[in-house]
């Protein structure tokens, strides 16, 4: 564990760890909670690790494990419904490298991590509480998957902290998603600098500053619109419709990957 990499050895894993693994070309990372006995509980959409219901899925799905991947005897293949699933560590990693998500980092460390979805300023709860939340959600669900508002990273962060970003009656939003959205926004907001300077380095520095500021302000550990929600209360509210995440419709032009 360090500033440059969160990579860890399997021998250092302990129940309650928030782990992740980058997929092809570092397009995205898949997140989950290690609960011991070589098991990882994680959140998926329709048997896929990610999904938007748009043509973007052609890129995201192709970068992840093949849907034709043969699961080991100890893992139940994910069904076509969205939901929380349990896999062995090998199936979760799908040939990727193991990383541990960091909690309680300081501001300098957080900003030094250029890519979102690797650490947070928020404080983790005790490991036994983390495992309890993950196992409860495995049995009761975490609502509908949404790559921008309710994804695998949101699931893991909630298990670790019990914190949810509440925007009206919706849940969201992960550091990984903020990074995807924040880059283009930073570029747009830095465009007026052209009126002040034509120096490309000055414009680049402004874009980076805007991007870092947006990541910092939207981190779960900094936001004012978060609430601590007990897992039993969360699943009760989800089942009664008090929390809603509307799943994007499946795009007709998204093709499944083949082995």
User: With pLDDT > 70 as the criterion, what percentage of the chain qualifies?
Assistant: 62
Residue 5 lies in a domain: no
- Please identify which of the residues 18, 31, 91, 152 carries the catalytic annotation: 152
- Please identify which of the residues 30, 31, 119, 159 carries the catalytic annotation: 30
pLDDT of residue 240: 85
The mean pLDDT of the chain is 76
Question: Does residue 152 have an active-site annotation?
Answer: yes
What's the CATH number where 225 sits?
Answer: 3.90.1720.10
Looking at the 3D structure of the chain, how many domains does it have? Answer: 1
pLDDT above 90: residue 124: yes
Q: How confident is the model at residue 248 (pLDDT cuts 50, 70, 90)?
A: low
Question: Does residue 31 have an active-site annotation?
Answer: no
pLDDT above 90: residue 120: yes
pLDDT in tens, 208-247: 666 677 788 888 888 888 889 999 999 998 888 777 665 5
pLDDT of residue 63: 43
- Please identify which of the residues 31, 42, 91, 136 carries the catalytic annotation: 42
pLDDT in tens, 8-33: 999 999 999 999 999 877 778 999 99
Residue 134 lies in a domain: yes
Residue 255 lies in a domain: no
Three-state SS for the chain is: CCCCCCECCHHHCCCCCEEEEECHHHCCEEEEEEEECCEEEEEEECCECCCCCCCCHHHHHHHCCCCCCCCCCCCCCCCCCCEEEEEEHHHHHCCCCCEECECCCCHHHHHHCCCCCCECCCCCCCHHHHHHHHHHHHHHCCCCCECCCECHHHHHHHHHHCEEEEECCEEECCHHHHHHHHHHHHHHHHHHHHHCCCCHHHHHHHHHHHHHHHHHHHCCCCCCCEEECCHHHHHHHHHHCCCCCCCCCCCCCCCCCCC
C-alpha span between 35 and 128 (Å, rounded): 9
Residue 82 lies in a domain: yes
Question: Does residue 42 have an active-site annotation?
Answer: yes
Residue 65 lies in a domain: no
Residue 251 lies in a domain: no
Q: Are 214 and 186 in contact (CB under 8 A)?
A: yes
Residue 16 lies in a domain: yes
Which range is least confidently modeled, 20-24, 99-103, 157-161, 246-250? 246-250
Over residues 137-154, the mean pLDDT reads 88
pLDDT of residue 4: 57
Residue 157 lies in a domain: yes
pLDDT above 50: residue 193: no
The dihedral built from the CA positions of residue 85, 232, 36 and 50, taken in this order, carries a sign that is positive
pLDDT of residue 92: 93
pLDDT of residue 19: 98
Q: Which residues span the domain enclosing 87?
A: 10-56+70-240
Residue 144: both structure tokens together? 């509908």
């Amino acid at each position: 564990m360090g500033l440059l990499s969160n990579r860890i050895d399997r021998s250092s894993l302990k129940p309650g760890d928030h782990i992740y693994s980058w997929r092809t070309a570092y397009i995205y990372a898949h997140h989950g909670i290690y609960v011991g006995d070589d098991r990882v509980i994680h959140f998926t959409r329709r048997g896929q690790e990610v999904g938007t219901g748009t043509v973007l899925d052609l890129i995201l799905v192709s970068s992840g494990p093949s849907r034709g991947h043969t699961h080991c005897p100890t893992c139940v293949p994910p069904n076509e419904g969205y939901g929380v699933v349990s896999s062995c560590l090998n199936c979760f990693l799908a040939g990727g490298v193991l990383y541990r998500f960091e909690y309680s980092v300081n501001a300098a460390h957080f900003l030094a991590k250029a890519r979102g979805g690797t650490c947070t300023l928020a404080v983790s709860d005790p490991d036994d509480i983390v495992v309890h939340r993950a196992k409860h959600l495995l049995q009761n669900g975490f609502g509908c998957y949404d790559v921008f508002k309710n994804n695998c990273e949101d699931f893991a962060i909630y298990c670790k902290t019990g914190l949810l970003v509440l925007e009206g009656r919706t849940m969201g939003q992960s550091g990984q998603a903020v990074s995807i959205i924040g880059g283009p926004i930073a570029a747009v907001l830095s465009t007026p600098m052209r009126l002040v300077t034509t120096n490309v380095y000055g414009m680049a520095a402004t874009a980076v500053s805007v991007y870092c500021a947006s990541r910092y302000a939207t981190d779960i550990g900094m936001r004012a619109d978060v609430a601590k929600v007990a897992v039993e209360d969360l699943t009760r509210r989800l089942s009664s419709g008090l929390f809603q995440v509307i799943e994007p419709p499946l795009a007709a032009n998204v093709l499944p990957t083949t082995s």
